[in-house]
Amino acid sequence: MMKKSILIVFGLFFAHFSFSQAMEDFKWLEGKWERQNVRPGTTAFEVWERTSDGYSGLGISMRGADTTFVESLALVEKDETIYYVANVSSNAEPTYFKVTEISKTGFESENPQHDFPKKIQYFLEGEKLTAVISAGEKTMGFIFKKMN
């Protein structure tokens, strides 16, 4: 019985350690990012920070002083898998995108059941962060510059 308990504790520690190590691969995402490719009169930002269970993000678009769009974002572990989670007011519940690829400067996540987008990619090139959302032929790109 004692050996079984030790194995369970070791397994839980290893799973937590593996998850913590995997979350370190997203460290480049931390900070405040200002979107560069917006319409005149519009500003947009994404802010990402490390939390105890992953990363928390917030996407905001403004037209002048009016907030036009708010999106809560997260990178979390669920069922031993990392998910990119988007929560917008137009959806009844948050949408989970399974992270399918991770590198030191990017990731790709997918949810084939979602209408749009089905795929979300983030990648860093120098000081430029690019986010691409897509489904089939439809693709939208967002370019950000780090503010801090």
Just give the CATH number of 2-146: 2.40.128.20
pTM value?
0.85
Neighbours of 45 (CB within 10 A): 15
Q: What is the DSSP string of 71-117?
A: EEEEEEEETTEEEEEEEETTSSS-EEEEEEEEETTEEEEE-TTSSS-
With a pLDDT cut of 70, the percent of the chain lying above it is 85
Strand partners, 93: none
pLDDT tens digits for range 34-55: 999 999 999 999 999 999 999 9
3-state secondary structure of 39: coil
3-state secondary structure of 138: strand
Strand partners, 131: 122, 142
pLDDT at res. 21: 64
pLDDT tens digits for range 86-103: 999 888 999 999 999 999
pLDDT at res. 22: 73
Residues of the chain with pLDDT under 50: 1-2, 4-17, 19
